[in-house]
Amino acid sequence: MQNRPHAQPAGDGAPASSIAARAMGALRRDAAAYLEGLNPEQRRAVETTEGPVLVLAGAGTGKTRVLTTRIAHLIATNRARPFDILAVTFTNKAAREMKHRIGALIGPAGEGMPWLGTFHAIGTKILRRHAELVGLKSDFTILGTDDQLRLMKQVIADQNVDEKRWPARALSHAIDGWKNRGLGPEQVPPGEAASFAFGKGGTLYTAYQARLATLNAVDFGDLLLLCLKLWRENPDVLANYQDRFRYILVDEYQDTNVAQYLWLRLLAQSRKNIACVGDDDQSIYGWRGAEVDNILRFEHDFPGAVVVRLERNYRSTGHILAAASGLIAKNESRLGKTLRTDDEPGERVTVTGAWDSEEEARMLAESIESLQAKQHPLSEIVVLVRISAQMREIEDRFVQLGLPYRVIGGPRFYERAEIRDALAYLRATMNVSDDLAFERIVNTPKRGLGDATLQQLHTYGRANRLPLRIAAERLCETDELKPRVRSTLRALTESFSRWARLVESQPHSEVAQMILEESGYTEMWQKDRSADAAGRLENLKEFVRSMEEFPDMAAFLEHVSLVMEASETEGAERVSLMTLHAAKGLEFDTVFLPGWEDGLFPSQRALDESGRAGLEEERRLAHVGLTRARKRAKLSFAVNRRIHGLWSSTIPSRFIDELPETAVDVVEAPAHFSAGASRFDRNPTPFGSSYGTPGWQRAQANTAPQGGRGFGSAPGGRSGGFSGGPRQIEGELIAKSTGAPSAFEMGQRVFHTKFGPGTIAGVDGNKLTVDFDKAGRKMVLDSFIQAGSS
DNA sequence: TTGGTCAGGGTTTTT
DNA sequence: CCCTGACCAA
């Protein structure tokens, strides 16, 4: 390898550096070995280190591998140290994956890549360093969507705009759109700004930004937009970053929006060592600001760019690839790639029509069961739908059959109400001036502090320039409040002060749990009888538990505003169910693609709103779906589908006819799936061919004992009448209430994971006072204590 | 202030 | 059909 400088044997020459030299030598050998697994195109993508590079990486062509090897190569050949490289991704998941794989490639040297992360995480890091230059303090808070919306509503009300005609959602959408395009309030084209709320769009945007500034807060869009502002107004700061980032790598370049493009262009301007990896055929986020144009225009934007096409697919068999390629070839706006494989043709893509969506769900489930009978692992099966609404019927069927499945996507962990509430409690505790947090939970659980009281607080706070929490404290000293309101409000503010003091001295996760209990928040869910209450308590428990991984509360809050995901139960033997969008980047042996009907897929809305471009994006989505499959892709459509509760007839997707004939098999629905079969579904005929399947038998076992209803006794009912019945929900409730007698006694020796061994000096319900041998006297919850052995 | 009822609206999703 | 938000009565 020409790039392997001075591979001298250790011991040769200067003895002073022998250990380091040996270590370096080992590093280089690894790197070289690594390169050998690459095909010529991949290798070119890795080894063209200087100047702009665009890697057009088709589905399954080893995109991540190229990206990680490139980084390893830069480091191993001493072109850059880990901290000289800027590597941006869109999702935390992708960033984590890259970190992991780089670590595996070059060992601990790659672990500490400080500038590998999402656009937003890196933007945050940069902004915290220069906050004052853009009018912020470095401890600014990052607002989530719901805080953003609440703020937006306030702004709309302040400006005397009718919220009915111009809902906060719409304003938020408009502002997001502008931010995605890199436009600050002053830069929005006047005509465009005027089109919102009778010419008030611009004013509202300005007012919203002003509110954010007062709160020392930013939204997600600002994390990029303010970087642009920072760099444009402070050329010296920009120059510093341009110099610092010797090499820039970008993942999923086809998903970048204008703001991100500008962000990258500013940084890459001086050194021009920018490598973007992406696939124009997998651009499916146009509706949220992604500009396919960014990738289509790359050579123009970065003159002299080297373009490398990765077209050798290592994932799918021939017919699947042919189907996907044939389909995507119908798109006009693309750079053009032809995926090829050395793999066998394999099974053809199947297309099956069903009478209605219920029948489609039954067929699908039956196919899965027959695969299962042939030892196909369930974890290698995925069902990809266009919209989440399709999931319900499919889930119903799975539940009925007892087929284990998991839904990927859905509301993100940190977007769930209970998590946002818990976070709000912590934020309001940690930061007296976090008005949004305080406002969120002031009456959650219900305390009788409603709109009227809140209005009073706002008025008082604004008049005296005080944050709400302080305003509440002061107002309690006056007699402006009704006695009842005053006492609850006082109790609340005093609790906050007490919790704030506890954070100083107690382990943060324990304080958090205490806050949730003493505020009555946990109790609120314990009393809630609805089906998901147990799950919410479970989430809260997980939330508290996850805090323990952070050194303190502040660090936890910082992390959580950008990243927080539900712990996924991986590797479980289950079928996966998700939207096509959620499936990007994943692969499975068998992929089911139901709902290929015009209007649903391609979606009518995409067609109406974006015309040909919309259709092409839908087609790319279809392409993404097909290319998830390694061995089997099974399309289906229904002739009748329930849309918003109403049955309407549909026609097969135009995409079906665009598939190359030779790659497709039309498979008829099994005979017993005739129209209206659902009516007889609950009345087994002993000789009917479909009733011998294991699934049917399980369905019987599951259905019969439900609420004492025998089968067939619910005529006309929904065939999946399952979720309505009483269901036992498992799950341990979060921290038993304070009243429960503790299992601990005075004088008992105990052990605490953080404070070590100690002796119990007091018991109050589940709160214990413990004299720790090392840490002194602390108040802790019994759930954090184990009976001591020593 | 709270809880009920009713009308309206309803892709895709990350940070 | 199912969820959310607005409005109204107690």
| Contact yes or no for A473/A432 (Cβ under 8 A) | no
| Contact yes or no for A64/A27 (Cβ under 8 A) | no
A525 CA – B3 C1', rounded, Å? 18
**Mean pLDDT, to the nearest integer, of A588-605?**
94
Whether the pLDDT of residue A158 is over 90: the answer is no
A724 CA – C1 C1', rounded, Å? 14
Residue A634 designated active-site = no
Strand C–CB A532 distance below 7 A = no
Strand B–CB A121 distance below 7 A = yes
Phi-psi region of A428 (alpha: psi -120 to 50; beta: other; left: phi over 0): alpha
Residue A396 designated active-site = no
- The larger pLDDT score, comparing residue A789 to residue A183, is at A183
pLDDT tens by residue, A216-254: 999 999 999 999 999 999 999 999 999 999 999 999 999
- Residue A274 has, within 13 A of its CA and on its CB side, a CA count of 25
A456 CA – C7 C1', rounded, Å? 22
Active-site annotation holder among A29, A47, A48, A64: A64
A723: nearest nucleotide, CA–C1' criterion? C2
pLDDT for A723: 28
Q: Which of residues 152-171 of A touch strand C (CB under 7 A)?
A: 163-164
Strand B–CB A387 distance below 7 A = yes
Active-site annotation holder among A154, A282, A453, A526: A282
The highest-confidence range among A170-184, A462-476, A620-634, by mean pLDDT, is A620-634
Q: Which of residues 614-643 of A touch strand C (CB under 7 A)?
A: 642
A417: nearest nucleotide, CA–C1' criterion? C4
pLDDT tens by residue, A252-277: 999 999 999 999 999 999 999 999 99
pTM: 0.78
Tell me which of A357-361, A604-608, A694-698 is least confident. A694-698
Structure tokens at A498: 């007490």
pLDDT tens by residue, A9-34: 333 333 445 566 656 655 555 546 78
A59 is in an annotated binding site: yes
A37 CA – B9 C1', rounded, Å? 54
A62 is in an annotated binding site: yes
Token pair 């050395």 is found at A342
A57 is in an annotated binding site: yes
pLDDT for A722: 27
**What's the 3-state SS for A587-606?**
CEEEEEECCCECEECCEHHH
Alpha helices by DSSP H, listed for A36-62, are 40-47
Q: Which of A399, A730, A719 is nearest to A577 (CA)?
A: A399
pLDDT for A273: 94
Whether the pLDDT of residue A424 is over 50: the answer is yes
Tell me which of A206-210, A327-331, A332-336, A593-597 is least confident. A332-336
pLDDT for A347: 94
A196 CA – B6 C1', rounded, Å? 29
Angle A395-A398-A401 (CA atoms, 0-180°, nearest 5)? 150
Residue A446 designated active-site = no
Residue A252 designated active-site = yes
pLDDT tens by residue, A514-524: 999 999 999 88
Q: Exposed (0-12), middle (13-18) or buried (19+): which is A241, by Cβ within 10 Å? A: middle
